[in-house]
């Protein structure tokens, strides 16, 4: 990475917010969408980071996404609520849902929120981390349009259906699991296309369901687990039940494709977020001590030669520290997309 190629994170953040505003999106949309994308880019999850800017702009301009959504509560009982995101960009509904879940958990010890009429929300971990930042355990589920075959299947069925869990760690970054239930996410395929790289073995299939490493021949993804892919397919079902069935939204195979060509029709996607207040179960000091002890023993467990034992999230937080210092290089397709957006709206490119 040369000095000329580096783009510092504040410049990326500013550019994304400016583009959203230039296309007519309200301040809440610009903030939520940028925060979610920057979470992913900062942590090195480039498949769900700022490379999605052009996609979201296409949805806002085409009418798929509401530039001025009215996110509102439409149901609930005690610690449970349902909100309608009014076809907002997905991060708007997801952050709003987790904000309500955290508030409910502060009152009841647990808060669960189903989100209706949402859209693609990017990195599920961004919303789980939001709960952890408030001292809560956060859990996020979402389904997406069909792109993943079943175990031994040869047709698209589930979406990549992410699951994310974040737990607060006193004095440190949260313990963070953020995973697709497919072997890799579809956005990773598109990133590898841009970079001209082969996919890892056993992660994708062609139109006949045969394994392929060529991202240009990929028609569907494999479920997580390789020979034990029934586990990944079942986990995708968990995300489907919580994200779609509980929210009353479309199942994966009924959702319009993320990549279009229809960017005018809302996709009616659902999501589900949960916040758990540890202090409803035990004193905060005991919870913090338990997490500290757990992570200390985990990270000092014997490692294989030339390897390092890490807790979920350690690799991402290390990458975040590096990128905050040094910035990032955009992949070629994203760099070209940013130039096009800058020209379209008469904006300077991020530097």
- Tell me what pLDDT residue 4 has: 52
Quick one: 105 and 195 in the same domain? no
Quick one: 53 and 82 in the same domain? no
Quick one: 245 and 153 in the same domain? yes
Examine the pLDDT at 2 and tell me if it is beyond 50. no
- Tell me what pLDDT residue 187 has: 79
Task: Measure the CA–CA gap between 321 and 129, rounded to whole angstroms.
Answer: 16
User: How many structural domains is the chain composed of?
Assistant: 3
- pLDDT tens digits, residue range 3-16? 456 899 999 999 99
- Tell me what pLDDT residue 304 has: 96
Quick one: 268 and 250 in the same domain? yes
Quick one: 3 and 21 in the same domain? yes
Tell me, yes or no, whether 289 lies in a domain. Answer: yes
Cross-strand bridge partners of residue 156 = 149
Task: Measure the CA–CA gap between 223 and 337, rounded to whole angstroms.
Answer: 30
Quick one: 214 and 231 in the same domain? no
- pLDDT tens digits, residue range 33-81? 999 999 999 999 998 999 999 999 999 999 999 999 999 999 999 999 9
Quick one: 293 and 232 in the same domain? yes
Strand, helix or coil for residue 139: strand
Residue 117 backbone dihedrals phi, psi, to 5 degrees = 50, 50
Quick one: 106 and 207 in the same domain? no
Strand, helix or coil for residue 16: helix
Question: For the whole model, what pTM was predicted?
Answer: 0.94
Quick one: 84 and 113 in the same domain? yes
Task: Measure the CA–CA gap between 134 and 6, rounded to whole angstroms.
Answer: 32
- Tell me what pLDDT residue 58 has: 98
| Residue 208, Cβ density class (10 Å: 0-12 exposed, 13-18 middle, ≥19 buried) | exposed
Which two tokens mark 119?
């859209």
**Exposure string (b/e) for 323-348, b if CB count within 10 Å is 16 or more?**
beeebbebbeebbebbeebbeeeebe
**Range(s) of the domain holding residue 331:** 1-62+324-351
- Tell me what pLDDT residue 98 has: 98
């Amino acid at each position: 990475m040369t000095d000329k190629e580096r783009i510092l994170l504040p410049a990326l953040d500013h550019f994304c917010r400016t583009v959203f505003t230039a296309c007519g999106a309200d301040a809440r949309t610009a903030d939520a969408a940028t925060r979610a994308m920057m979470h992913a880019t900062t942590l090195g999850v480039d498949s769900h980071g700022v490379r999605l800017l052009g996609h979201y702009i296409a949805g806002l301009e085409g009418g798929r996404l509401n530039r001025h959504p009215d996110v509102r509560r439409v149901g609930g009982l005690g610690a449970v609520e349902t909100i309608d995101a009014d076809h907002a960009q997905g991060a708007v509904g997801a952050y709003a849902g987790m904000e309500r879940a955290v508030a409910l958990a502060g009152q009841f010890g647990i808060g669960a929120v189903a989100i209706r009429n949402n859209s693609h929300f990017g990195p599920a971990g961004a919303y789980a981390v939001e709960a952890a930042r408030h001292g809560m355990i956060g859990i996020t589920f979402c389904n997406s349009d069909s792109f993943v075959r079943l175990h031994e299947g040869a047709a698209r069925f589930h979406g990549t259906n992410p699951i994310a869990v974040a737990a607060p760690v006193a004095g440190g970054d949260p313990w963070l699991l953020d995973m697709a239930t497919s072997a890799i996410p579809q956005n990773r395929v598109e990133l590898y296309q841009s970079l001209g790289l082969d996919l890892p073995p056993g992660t994708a299939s062609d139109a006949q369901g045969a394994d392929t490493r060529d991202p240009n021949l990929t028609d569907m993804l494999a479920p997580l687990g390789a020979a034990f892919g029934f586990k990944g397919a079942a986990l995708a079902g968990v995300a489907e039940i919580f994200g779609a069935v509980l929210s009353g939204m479309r199942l994966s195979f009924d959702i319009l494709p993320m990549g279009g060509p229809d960017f005018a029709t809302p996709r009616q996607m659902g999501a589900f977020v949960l916040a758990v207040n540890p202090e409803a179960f035990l004193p905060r000091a005991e919870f913090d001590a338990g997490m500290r002890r757990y992570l200390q023993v985990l990270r000092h467990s014997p490692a294989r030669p030339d390897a390092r034992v890490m807790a979920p999230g350690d690799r991402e937080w290390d990458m975040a520290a590096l990128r905050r210092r040094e910035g990032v290089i955009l992949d070629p397709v994203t760099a070209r997309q940013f130039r096009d957006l800058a020209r379209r709206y008469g904006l300077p490119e991020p530097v």
